[in-house]
Amino acid sequence: MQFSRDFERPGRSPATAPTAMVATAHPSASAAALDILRQGGNAADAAIAAAAVLHVLEPHMSALGGDLFAIVAKPDGAGGVALDGLNASGRSPAGLTREIAEQAGGLEPTSPHVVTVPGAVAGWGVLTARHGSMGLDTALIAAIDYAEKGAPIAPRVARDWADEVSKLAKTEGGRRHYLRDGAAPGAGQFMAYPALAKALRVIAEDGPDAFYRGAIADDIVGTLQGLGGLMSQDDLAEHRADAVTPLSCAYRGIDILELPPNGQGLTAQIILNILERFDIAALDPDGPERAHLLIEAARAGYALRDREIADPASMVSAPEALNAKSLAAEIADHIDLEKRNESLPDKLPATKSDTTYLCIIDGDGMAVSLITSLFAGFGSGIVTPEFGITLQNRGCGFTLEEGRPNMLAPRKRPFHTIIPGMALQDGAILSPFGVMGGQYQSVGHAHVWSLMRDHGFNPQAAIDAPRLFWDDSGAIELEGGFSDAVRDGLTARGHKITAAKAPIGGSQIIVRDPETGALIGGSDPRKDGCAIGY
């Protein structure tokens, strides 16, 4: 895969490495992963180490109380690639029904009823058992060290944290573990998390089951039930992370892999299938025509997503049918390059969420794409007092609308926004990649791969390029960097345009050059991370 705009496009140069590379949303997480690789661990071990460090250093975005998804790809020794998908998302409590949630006021973001079983730690166990070469006792050393000794708060983290003070102040655990004198820490201030360190040590010494049974589980259940929640010890003890087969779609000779539902990776494939019907390479990558086409393809894909995607046990349409090129062709026929399609929903979900993503390729060619999140900043805001476990609010991904595939029900996985990606070319590993940003992630995957494949952008240039997405009103938010011609062109096509209130998402990408084997990486300046290798 050749990149024609390595030096033509303004922006940072991509990172390069001949053997191994790590790209995470925080430099200390990247360093922890590299340390594991240098000690002889593989990409799976390094991914767990990095994810655990991110739980400590970006605690508003991911935590032990959140979920995890991953794709692992490695050479199979026969010229092919062995693929393994991991769905470590949790389910709703067995005692929670749609009627109970409605009587409690709905799926309110800080309600104990939107807390689903945390799946991330079970995901670590599966990654270690299926692909790791080290135990969790080694992989978690760096995270425990940061939690015990403390670490400085990064600028993006400090900015986000300040918005969550009122949420954290609602629970004893939030006040005790994540506020200082009732306020959020500032950039550069050191924070230690002794309660979290204690939980990490229990998991390192006794394994993932110690999170779902015993003192940590009692802390989680006691906290939630004390607030009127219905989570039980059985809900935790019976959680399992599932191995799944990634879905594939071909985009101009590249196979883009996504995990099947309950995540929205399928939506990224639908959008790419639609875009493939158009000669995007002939369009100006910075022009209004391409921006309009991306918006319209995304609006159609998201409308389909919101009707169809849910826990796979509840879906009506098969993922393979939604991923079909024929369906994309039908949708593409209704896209007018000169005007907005008014028949599509006016408003689509644009809920803000916080996520950490990382990708790794090790010296043996194993690639890991891993994403973990609490959904909203600090999730539900509910933090357990004893172990400092911040609990996600993924139950907000359900709907209470009766008859919908994604309707809340007992022991059900909600629709999920976080999606890891992997790309293959000619049957070989090309790229682990991910784009953070909650609801934005599906269009983000399509955006960066269209820039790289259609326009020859290198990974860093594709990440740096300005982004657009809709807000809660349906208006299209544009980041800085778009020209007046784009704004005017979109307005003329019927779109309502507004300035983005904050950076849209984040991203990490590693691409292996198919000819030389060299690794080319990019890391998003919208966050605090980096891509490094050796």
Q: Which residues are catalytic?
A: 355
- Which residues, 6 or more positions from 220, have their beta carbon under 8 angstroms from its beta carbon? 65, 118, 231, 236, 384, 389, 391
The span from the CA of 388 to the CA of 385, in Å, is 6
* Cα of 481 vs its chain's centroid, Å: 24
Q: How far is CA 27 from CA 58, 173, 526, in A?
A: 11, 28, 14
Torsion angle of the four alpha carbons 152, 367, 66, 353, in this order, in degrees rounded to the nearest 10: 70
The span from the CA of 491 to the CA of 504, in Å, is 20
422, 445 Cβ separation under 8 angstroms? no
310, 261 Cβ separation under 8 angstroms? yes
Tokens of 355: 């996520």
Go through the chain and tell me how many residues it has. 534
* Cα of 442 vs its chain's centroid, Å: 10
Q: Classify 518 as helix, strand or coil.
A: coil
The span from the CA of 532 to the CA of 534, in Å, is 7
DSSP 137-165: HHHTHHHHHHHHH-EEPPHHHHHHHHTTH
| Pairing verdict, β 476-478 and 497-499 | parallel
